[in-house]
Amino acid sequence: MSHPGPRTEPPQSHASRRGLAHRPARFRLGAICGLGAAAAALVASAAAAAPARLEVTGHVRAAPPGAPVMAGYLTLRNPGRRSVAITGAASPAFARVEVHRTVMRDGVARMEPVQRLEVPAGGTVRMAPGGMHLMLIRPRRALRPGETVRVVLRFAEGAEQAVTLPVRRGGMAGMEDGHHHDGPGH
Amino acid sequence: MRPGARSTQLAAAALVALAAGAVAGWLLHGGGRPPQPERVGAALLLPQRAPLPAFRLAGTSGPVTADGLKGRWSVLFFGYTHCPDICPTTLAALAAALDALPPQARGRVRALFVSVDPRRDSRARLADYVAYFGAGIEAATGDTDQIERLARAVGAYYALEEPGPDGGYLVNHSASLFLVDPAGRFAGVISPPLEAKALAGTLARLTGGAAP
């Protein structure tokens, strides 16, 4: 987490930004150059303090009545220049949320917890039935198709990102692709 | 994963059963070319089929026994309702496949979800669970020794993991579909990934031919 060399903390750059409007015009160019440097430093430090957010789409698969666990499938795109690691998740709608991966070995399905899910810079990670998924444990109430669920992703650096996921039916392997909303243009 | 998997360990993989069948066939045929498993669609059918041993489970439509499975093709899937990913995925594919079958073929096949987690899966819970997927999928569970007897006969594997802090536990289990022919014999497997359309085609072919 420690960065070598000098670094500018976000509060300082905010202060210089606020001060800009009060300076005479002839100083403004220099001030803008200085601001640029501060902004560059801000980007570097912001990556540590508040990592680039992910573009998240996905859904929670509707489950049989009384189902003690449900699954959520996310597509996580990282538009940033730094890798982002998800190390936890939670939801007010469930007692507990874990990231799991179904691993098939010799025809036997086994679920493995994913302690750290890395979304590389510029990359996309897709969860899908039969593979990686959010394991949503003990819904606090029955969730029907059409409802939405709030899930908070926790990043390795401690920051969080909330996403809202629709509940919908379906969820056969290979049937999810038609529902991605994260085209290359986004 | 968590070490020291608890209690129930069944380690008879389908491949072992296939190999055993092949060897038995080879011996019966006096050492000629061993009869090969036959591929029908997505299914791999055994060259030699053995009747299921006697067993008794409580099903959502009454008792499930070896004799009771006779007369139709049976598609067995072993799982548990606390399974968030692979069981619903498989049952949804199976339901879609059954719904896609012509009525006559549909009448010749029975789909049975066998819970390997009888402690948590009551019959009422199982009934709700399979009803959600529809397509007439039935469910059954029972005493551990009865489940094991059936699982071992078809080469299905399952193992309960150590419970977590809140008492919840995962179950590792075979993800294949196991086929029992209308004569009540273990006939073969359909291995994942399971895709509804391929599954429907396979079941249509299986049920279209006269029972051997």
Kindly report the CATH number assigned to the domain that includes residue B29: 3.40.30.10
Mean pLDDT of all residues belonging to chain A: 76
The answer as to whether B105 is a domain residue is: yes
Q: How far is B89 from chain A (nearest CA, A)?
A: 5
Task: Indicate the pTM of the whole model.
Answer: 0.76
Predicted pLDDT at B25 = 58
Tell me the domain boundaries of chain A.
10-49, 55-175
Choose from A111, A134, A136 for mutation: most chain B CBs within 10 A: A111
Q: Is the pLDDT of residue A35 over 80?
A: no
A158: left (phi over 0), alpha (psi -120 to 50) or beta: left
Cα B79 to Cα A70: distance, rounded to the nearest angstrom: 15
- Count up the domains in chain B and report the number: 1
Q: Is B172 in Cβ contact with A109 (below 8 Å)?
A: yes
Between B46 and B212, residue with greater pLDDT = B46
**Res. A65 pLDDT band, cuts 50 70 90:** confident
In a domain, B131, yes or no: yes
DSSP result, B47-69: EEEEEPPP-EEEEBTEEEETGGG
Q: CA–CA separation, A8 vs A6, rounded Å?
A: 7
Answer whether B174 sits within 8 Å of A70, measured CB to CB. no
Q: Place A9 in a pLDDT band, splitting at 50, 70 and 90.
A: very low
Alpha-carbon span A184 to A128, nearest angstrom: 19
pLDDT of residue B144: 97
Name the one residue in this structure whose structure tokens are 């029975």. Answer: B110
A102 touches chain B (CB under 8 A): yes
| Three-point CA angle B29, B18, B210, nearest 5° | 75
Is the CB of residue B188 less than 8 Å from the CB of residue B43?
yes
A97-119 tens-digit pLDDT: 999 999 999 899 999 999 999 99
Q: What is the mean pLDDT of residues B121-144?
A: 96
Q: Is A105 on the interface with B (CB under 8 A)?
A: no
Identify the pLDDT of residue B204.
Answer: 96
Q: What distance in Å separates residue A169's CA from the closest CA in chain B? A: 10
Q: Which residue, among B74, B63, B77, B51, has the nearest Cα to B143 in the 3D structure?
A: B63
For residue B83, tell me if it sits in a domain: yes
SS3 assignment, position B102: coil
Which pLDDT score, from 0 to 100, does residue A11 have? 36
Q: How far apart are CA B207 and CA A108, in angstroms?
A: 27
Q: What is the mean pLDDT of residues B18-42?
A: 72
Is residue B126's pLDDT more than 90?
yes
Report how far residue A97's alpha carbon sits from residue A138's, in angstroms, rounded to the nearest whole number. Answer: 9
Cis peptide before B193 (omega within 30 of 0): yes
Q: Is the pLDDT of residue A59 over 70?
A: yes
Of A66, A106, A110, the CB nearest to B125: A66
The answer on pLDDT for B125 being more than 70 is yes
Q: Is A68 in contact with B82 (Cβ distance < 8 A)?
A: yes
Contact between A107 and B93 using a beta-carbon 8 Å cutoff? no
> Cα–Cα distances in Å, from B152 out to A163, B72, B191?
44, 21, 17
pLDDT digits (tens, 9 = 90+) for B157-174: 999 999 988 889 999 999
From chain B, pick out residues whose CB is under 8 angstroms from the CB of A135: 84-85
Domain assignment present for B183: yes
User: Does residue A23 carry a pLDDT above 60?
Assistant: no
Look up residue A141 and give its two tokens: 């109430």
CB A56 within 8 A of CB A89: no
- ipTM higher than threshold 0.85: no
Residue B3 has what pLDDT? 39
What average pLDDT does chain B have? 88
Name the band, by pLDDT with cuts 50, 70 and 90, for residue B24: low
Q: Is B2 inside any structural domain?
A: no
Residues of A in contact with B15 (CB under 8 A): 106-107
Partner-chain contact A174 B1, CB within 8 Å = no
Q: Does A185 touch chain B (CB under 8 A)?
A: no
The boundaries of the domain holding residue B16 are 7-207
Q: pLDDT tens digit string along B81-119?
A: 999 999 999 999 999 999 999 999 999 999 999 999 999
For residue A121, pLDDT over 90 is answered with yes
Chain B interface residues facing chain A, Cβ-Cβ under 8 Å?
1, 13-15, 81-86, 88-89, 92-93, 96, 120, 125, 128-133, 157, 166, 168, 170, 172-176, 189, 191-196
Are B195 and A106 a contacting pair at CB < 8 A? Answer: no
Tell me the pLDDT tens digit for each residue of A84-95: 999 999 999 999
- Closest CA of chain B from A155, distance in Å: 23
Query: CB A110 to CB B172 under 8 A?
Result: yes
When scoring A94, A110, A132 by the number of chain B Cβ atoms within 10 A, the one with the most, hence best to mutate, is A110
Please write the tens of the pLDDT for every residue from A133-159: 999 999 999 999 999 999 999 999 999
| Any domain includes B1 | no
Q: How would residue B28 be classed by pLDDT, with cut points 50, 70 and 90?
A: low
Contact check, Cβ <8 Å, B86/A109: yes
- CATH 3.40.1160.10 given to domain A55-175: no
pLDDT of residue B17: 52
**pLDDT confidence bin for A172, thresholds 50/70/90:** low
pLDDT value for B7: 39
